[in-house]
Structure formats: structure tokens, C-alpha cells
Structure 1
Amino acid sequence: MKVGLIGFGKAGKAVANVILQSNEYSLEWVLRQSTILEHRHVPEFLGIDSKEPGLIFSTSSIEIEELLSKHPVDIIIDFSSSNGIYSYGKAAASRKIIIISAISHYDEDEKQFLSELSSKTIVFWSPNISLGVNYLMFAAKLLKKIAPWVDIEIIEEHFKGKPGVSGTAIKLAKELDLEETEISSIRAGGIVSKHEIIFGFPYQTVRLIHEAISREAFGNGVLFVADNLADKKEGFYTFEDLLSPYFTN
């Protein structure tokens, strides 16, 4: 399947690296705001031996309609910004292109827009698209169900300079019926992503921890999502929708 990637920051580059090493998916292009690297090839830039085109385009030089017409894709993966969906959403939905968004936080307006797009195409969104952290969420919800009275604390760690509270931690808190104030945040060095859930039982403690060692973990998550969306109909999907069958079968 042909893939278009929007956003080419640290996470975007790591995801591109994983896609280029996949036999089932072909990275057709990358779209970013900056004109730096424009018209270069991602495999060349990343030093990967690949025949995939991976052309780099800038939003200041090409409109999304033209890009999709000249370089059609089956999937768009979004690692840009919270308002990036407005730049390509309608054009992608009208062409039935699958949208996979890994944006860490959306306001209600963006969530509503995603819902509208899902009436025309497959739309997936996860604030953290690594498979491991979403498995962590499932395990945490199961433990909370077994012991609803247990004390729970969430600690999230990320690189210095990451603004706000982790979108993943906020989702974890919501799923576990906790307030955002019960999340502790740590910002230090180059920590990629670490989430820890502490369950305080009498006489014992259970700790569930997920740590992304490399941003390539997001790429593995993207491919898992793409594989599991292949047989889906138009609609809005989350990781819970894709993982539930594995827990029930």
C-alpha cells in the first residue's frame, strides 16, 4: 500500500525509517512546512537503501489536491500538528484515503472534524501510537476492574522542553477515572517517552511501565494500525477498537 507522511520532525523521521524497511508499504512522499530538503528523497536523506520514492514536498510549494493527484496514496499518516488535519482532511476523505493520526492532543473542534471525515473514509486517532503503551492501557483497565478501590498514580516522563502534560497520560487518567491533577510530569534530557502507573494495594504495589526506547516504536505502531484497518469500513477507530479482538478471542 502507498503511504504519504505529513510531518518530518523527530517522530516523523523515525516512522519514515520503519516504513522504508517494510515490504508491504511504500513511502511515496513526505509533506512538511519547511522548504528545507524539498525535492530530496527520504531514503537518501536517512541513508537507507530503498527504491521507494519518498519525495519530500513543502506545503508552501504544492497544494494537497495537486499532491494527491500527481502522487496518489492509500494511507496518510499525520505526525504534524493539531491543526494539520484541516490542511488535508477533506481532500483525503473525498478520495477514500485512510487517515492515521498520531497527534498527541486535539481540541473538541478537531475531534468533531475527525468524526465528520469518518463518515466518508477510515479515520484512526491515537495520542500515542506505540503498540506497547496501548497494551499498557488495556492491562491497567483490567487491574482497575479487578480492584476498583486501589490507589492509582500516573507518572509521565518526556524530553526536556515538551510542553504540557502528555496526551497519553491524560488518556490513561481518563480511562482510569482519575483527575489530570493526579498526573506527575518529569521533563529531563532526551527521554523519548515513559509512562508508569502505580497501583497501591495494602501490603503490596503493582507498577505497570511502558518506555519507548526509540521513536521507531511509533513506526511499528503505525504499521500495526495500518494492518488492522485493512478490512475495516468507513468510520472512526481507536487502538481499543483494534486491540479488543485480541483480548476476547
Structure 2
Amino acid sequence: MKIGLLGFGKTGKAVAAVILQNKEFSLEWVYRRTPHLEGRNVPEFLGIESDHPGRVYSAETIGMSALLAQHPVDLIIDFSSETGIYTYGEAAAELGVKIISAVSHYSENEKELLKKLAEKTVVFWSPNITLGVNYLLFAAQFLKKIAPWVDIEINEEHFKEKVGTSGTAVKLAKALELPEEEINSVRAGGIVGKHEVIFGFPFQTVRLIHESISREAFGNGVVFVAQNIKDRAAGLYKFEDILLPYFSTEQN
């Protein structure tokens, strides 16, 4: 499966490192807004032995339509920004290139664009693409279903530079029908990301905790999603759509 990557910050680099070491995929290119690093070979830049092409291109030098024509891919992975979808969305959808977006926040305009693109190709979006945190989301919903009257608190901790409430925490709050304003946020040091859901029962508590130890966890999540959407029909998918079959108690 040939892959193109948008977003080459700390998380993007970690995701690229995971993809480069997976034999099922080939990282064809990384696309950046600025020409910084343009022409560099990603495996060499990251110090990873790999035969993936992995060349860096920039929007200042080549447009997405031209890039897809010259270096076609099966899947685009987006770790860029809220507006990144406008850079590649239409071009990818026209060619049937699958899209995995791990952008934390989208406005209603971008969400509508995702739905539009999903009419032509597979579009997957998750504010947090780590497998563990999405398992936490499922488990939390099941526990609340068992005890809908339980007291619930959501805590999220991230690195000091992270702006705004965690998109994952917001998603947890919505799934558990809690006000977003009641999310407890901490910003300190080099915390990668931690989410905790506390269930307060009479005489006992249950704590569900997910902590990202390394940003490579996002790469593992991308690989899991890519493996599970490769044969899907066009449409807009979320993590629940992929995980639900795994929660079946029936034996295959």
C-alpha cells in the first residue's frame, strides 16, 4: 500500500518512522507547506534503514494534483492542521485515494467537506488515532451503559504547548453525555498525552487510563486503521466502525 503523509512535526516524524518499518506499506512522499527539508530522503533524515522512496515535497514547488499524478499513492495520512484537508482533499477523492485524518479539531466547514469527499472515497477521521485511547472510549461507554447513574470525571494531560481542550477528551465527554466545560485539563512539561475517566460508585471507584508513552503510538494506530479500511467502500468512517466487530462475543 503506497502512502503519502502530510504533517512532519514531532508526531508526523514518529508516524513516518513506524510506517518505514512496516513491510505492508511504502512511504512514497511527505508533503509540507514550506520548502524546508524539500528533496530530503525521509528514511535517511530519520536514520532508518528502509527502501521506501520517502521524499519530501512542498506546496511551494508542486501542487497536490501534480504530485499525485507523478507519484500516485493508495492512501493519504494527514497529521497537519485543520485546513490541511483543503490542500489535498478534492484531488485525492477524484482519484479514489483513501484518506486517514488524525487532525484533532475540525470546524463544521471541514466536517462537511469530509462528508462530501466520503461520497467518492474512503475517509477516516479520528481526533486521536491511538488504538488504546479508542479502546478506552469503548470501555467507558459500556461501563456507563451498565451504571448510567454513576459519577464520572474526565481528566486530560498534555504537553505545555498544546492549545485548547484535547479533542479526545471532548469526544469522551460527548460519548458519556458530559458537559465539555467539566473536563479537567493539565498542561505541563513534556507530557505526550494522558486521558483518564473516573467512575465514582458508592464505596468504590473505577479508573480507565490511557497514556501515550511515545508518539510512535500514533503510528501504530495509523497502521491498524489502514489495515482495516483497505477493502472498505467509499464512506466516512470513525474508530467505532472499525472496533465494533472486535467487541463481538461470538466466536468466528
**Shift in Å, 1:60:** 1.1
Tell me what 2:235 maps to. 235
Which residue identity is paired with 2:161? G
Tell me what 1:111 maps to. 111
The two structures, once aligned, show a CA RMSD in angstroms of 0.6
Map 1:210-229 to 2 at 5 A.
Answer: 210-229=210-229
Which residue identity is paired with 1:121? T
**Shift in Å, 1:196:** 0.3
Tell me what 2:158 maps to. 158
Map 1:148-227 to 2 at 5 A.
Answer: 148-227=148-227
Does residue 6 of structure 2 align to residue 22 of structure 1? no
TM-score (norm 1): 0.99
Report the Cα distance in structure 1 between the residues aligned to 2:34 and 2:51, rounded to whole angstroms: 24
Tell me what 1:73 maps to. 73
Which residue identity is paired with 1:50? S
Which residue identity is paired with 1:182? E
TM-score (norm 2): 0.98
Give the secondary structure class of the aligned counterpart of 1:227. helix
Report the Cα distance in structure 2 between the residues aligned to 1:227 and 1:161, rounded to whole angstroms: 32
Give the secondary structure class of the aligned counterpart of 1:197. strand
Report the Cα distance in structure 2 between the residues aligned to 1:61 and 1:128, rounded to whole angstroms: 31
**Shift in Å, 1:36:** 1.4
Which residue identity is paired with 1:181? E
The alignment covers a number of residue pairs equal to 249
Tell me what 2:129 maps to. 129
Give the secondary structure class of the aligned counterpart of 1:208. strand
Report the Cα distance in structure 2 between the residues aligned to 1:59 and 1:184, rounded to whole angstroms: 38
Q: Which deviations, in whole Å up to 9, do the C-alpha atoms of 1:93-118 show, x marking residues without a partner?
A: 00000000000011111000000000
**Shift in Å, 1:4:** 0.1
Report the Cα distance in structure 1 between the residues aligned to 2:187 and 2:150, rounded to whole angstroms: 27
Which residue identity is paired with 1:65? S
**Shift in Å, 1:34:** 2.2
Residue segments in structure 1 that go unaligned for 5+ positions in a row: none
Report the Cα distance in structure 1 between the residues aligned to 2:230 and 2:81, rounded to whole angstroms: 25
Give the secondary structure class of the aligned counterpart of 2:80. coil
Give the secondary structure class of the aligned counterpart of 2:170. helix
Q: Which deviations, in whole Å up to 9, do the C-alpha atoms of 1:210-248 show, x marking residues without a partner?
A: 000000000000000000001210000000000000012
Q: Which deviations, in whole Å up to 9, do the C-alpha atoms of 1:89-144 show, x marking residues without a partner?
A: 00000000000000001111100000000000000000000000000000000000
Q: Which deviations, in whole Å up to 9, do the C-alpha atoms of 1:2-33 show, x marking residues without a partner?
A: 00001101110000000000000000000011
Which residue identity is paired with 2:173? A
Tell me what 1:50 maps to. 50
**Shift in Å, 1:35:** 1.3
Aligned-pair identity in percent equals 67
Give the secondary structure class of the aligned counterpart of 2:178. coil
Q: Which deviations, in whole Å up to 9, do the C-alpha atoms of 1:23-54 show, x marking residues without a partner?
A: 00000000011211110000000000111110
Q: Which deviations, in whole Å up to 9, do the C-alpha atoms of 1:130-183 show, x marking residues without a partner?
A: 000000000000000000000000000000010000000000000000001110
Which residue identity is paired with 1:117? L
Which residue identity is paired with 1:17? A
Report the Cα distance in structure 1 between the residues aligned to 2:210 and 2:108, rounded to whole angstroms: 28
**Shift in Å, 1:185:** 0.3
Report the Cα distance in structure 1 between the residues aligned to 2:239 and 2:123, rounded to whole angstroms: 12
Give the secondary structure class of the aligned counterpart of 1:109. helix
Which residue identity is paired with 1:80? S
Give the secondary structure class of the aligned counterpart of 1:11. helix
Q: Which runs of 4+ in 1 moved over 6 A?
A: none
Residue segments in structure 2 that go unaligned for 5+ positions in a row: none
Report the Cα distance in structure 1 between the residues aligned to 2:59 and 2:160, rounded to whole angstroms: 29
